[in-house]
Chains A and B, each alone.
Chain A
């Protein structure tokens, strides 16, 4: 689903609309306001954190890319490791750089695929705070995750997917995990891969 929203896939039926525009009509301009953090992190392991950020800032036509890269490194808490190759980072550190990479051009829509995977408690809490801040700043965040406890309190709306289909949409969900269990168990005997966003 995230791939569809990121304009990488065309839907087999129906249309996707972004505000007033249908997908496919504004191509590059649309992509400029979307930030994606995928499972594969989108970072060049051989480049340093700073170089990665600077490169993508340039690609996204950010005004002063060097300054933007430096700021992003600060936000990731990795200013002292900026000149180390990303391959030398732990999973959590890489994730932080990847998140900053996704946000460096200040997108309006942010798509996050399992951002909590592999994060320790401190990093997960930091990520949660960052997401709160983004949401307060008016950014639309679409989060795909199985870490329902960590997503608690973050969500304005939850969409539950099963076998690739939407089965339930809840506004301002509380107790997401038990809600999830209840929804998934409704049709007993059918076990599909769980997913919630």
Chain B
């Protein structure tokens, strides 16, 4: 573990402890009241979900065409975080939606695209876990295709909805809610980076142990 890890982990824990206070103090949003506060968890989760997807995609492409095992480890770790933060987003979202607007789910562009992105990440993990040897490259291919797929999902779901419009209840999320939001976002980002580092490190150790085993009968 790098030296900075423990202190940062402590900082992160403290930030998480402090954030409810900041969230409680934040001004109430006019129409939704208390329920809207879950947004301070939902939005940063969504951002981390997206960040993880980008990291996974880029690392996968680099691994596929350069073969650098570090990129592969990074991609795998990022994919796990995509699933994790994706679950958080996809759970907090409907919870919020149900309380605020009365529906659990809507086939809105962003929701659907997020869900599909999450599914691809889960497929990635399933492939790595159950695919046997060689599945690292295959998973990288899947990640690449998943990335390429995003614009198509957006366009197709979007057009689908414009032909059969229903009132969309998902608001354009405000980004200027001030201190609590940015604090929350920073907290989540720190958590994301710590988890990523830890997970990549785990894979590095695993690779080192394997290499040691192999060189043992020299």
Contact = CB atoms under 8 A, between A and B. Distances in A.
Q: Do chains A and B touch in the complex (CB under 8 A)?
A: yes
Interface of A: 10, 163, 165
Interface in B46-70: 67
B25 interface: no
Interface string B185-218: 0000000000000000000000000000000011
The 4 closest A-B pairs by CB, nearest first: A163-B217, A165-B217, A10-B67, A165-B218
A131 B158 CA distance: 66
B52 to A, nearest CB: 29
Contacts of A10: 67
- Main SS class of interface, B: loop
A10 B69 CA distance: 14
A10 B218 CA distance: 21
A163 B67 CA distance: 26
Contacts of A165: 217-218
A165 B215 CA distance: 11
Contacts of B218: 165
A163 B216 CA distance: 11
Nearest to A192: B217
Contacts of B67: 10
B65 to A, nearest CB: 14
Nearest to A165: B217
Nearest to B214: A12
A10 B67 CA distance: 11
A61 B2 CA distance: 56
A142 to B, nearest CB: 23
Nearest to A190: B217
B77 to A, nearest CB: 22
A1 to B, nearest CB: 15
